[in-house]
Amino acid sequence: MTLISAPRRRLIQGVAAAVALPSSFAALAQAPARQFRIGHQKGYLTLLKGRGTLEKRLQPLGVSVKWTEFTAGPVQLEALNVGSIDFGDVGEAPPIFAQAAGAPLAYVGATVPRPQAEAVLVPKGSAIKTVAELKGKKIALNKGSNVHYFIVKLAEKHGLAYSDLNLVYLPPADARAAFEKGSVDAWVIWDPFLAAAEQSLEARILANATGVVGNRAYYFSSLDYVARNADVLAIAIEEINKVDTWGAAHRNELAAELAALWGLPKPVAELAQARTAYGTAPITKPSWPSSSRLPTPSSRSS
């Protein structure tokens, strides 16, 4: 057995450490950067995507942004539940179903109320004049969506039971076709489909959500993502509100952008955004993830 002197041992250890440094730096350089995976529908989040301002704000934090487009809020919530996205936008009703199914969902932001942006439509020549007259009539709507919640609350307000509603579950494109052909008596829908039907079909609004439901849009994330990335989410809500603030002050330009985004005539976009209130604020209570209960829409900060 050969004994190594203390000075020689220190020399060997120093050389070994120096040799190991490059591999340590390489491992550090290869460490995964933070990601922010955003689900969005064609709307205000899409406008934020086009501006690129969120990416610029997050770049100094080492956060990369990935955008995925969805057709509706409930699909985004499914994606959140399986870990495919970290953030998205949705209406009032879908998150309730998601939480009931055990989704690890957290509300992180909310818009101001927009009750005029959803309504019950009837054909131009319809004999239906009051909400009470919807009893037994075929009503088209998107199942589990904001308008589903709206029609339930509207019926309650006008003395109708849920069993009085003859609901026909159809996505917006199919519902419009059925409405246009006269296969249904009424259609519960939101903008811009609402504005498009008013202008191209001369459909009549029987009732909107004013005084019935708030019709806010909510921004959501997962409890786990909130716990690890509160700074990212705070920046996202700030940037969304900047788009809202700009839109409120530049409605003509906003209508042009939305018309191009939706593939609709500009007058349709103008009608839709004219009845839209603008403003988005963070939801700060209850704190994440220390709360023992899941958040509710009423937790929105003022």
Q: What is the pLDDT along the chain (302 residues), one digit of tens a residue?
A: 444 555 555 544 554 444 444 444 444 444 457 999 999 988 889 999 999 999 999 999 999 999 999 887 888 988 998 999 999 999 888 888 888 888 888 999 999 999 999 999 999 999 999 999 999 999 999 998 889 999 999 999 999 999 999 999 999 999 999 999 999 999 999 999 999 999 999 999 999 999 999 999 999 999 999 999 999 999 999 999 999 999 999 999 999 999 999 999 999 999 999 999 999 999 875 444 433 333 344 444 33
User: Which position has the token pair 């006008």?
Assistant: 158
> What is the reported pTM?
0.79
**CA gap 183, 176 in Å, rounded:** 10
* Cβ atoms of 54 and 236 closer than 8 Å: yes
Write out pLDDT tens, residues 76-111.
988 998 999 999 999 888 888 888 888 888 999 999
DSSP H or E stretch at residue 90: strand 87-90
Q: What residue type is assigned to position 28 of the chain? A: L
Query: What pLDDT score does 160 carry?
Result: 97
Q: What residue type is assigned to position 224 of the chain? A: D
Closest CA relative to residue 282, chosen from 217, 213, 219, 214: 219
Write out pLDDT tens, residues 149-193.
999 999 999 999 999 999 999 999 999 999 999 999 999 999 999
Query: What pLDDT score does 93 carry?
Result: 84
Residues 6+ apart with CB under 8 A from 24: none
Which domains does the chain possess? 34-114+216-299 (3.40.190.10), 116-204 (3.40.190.10)
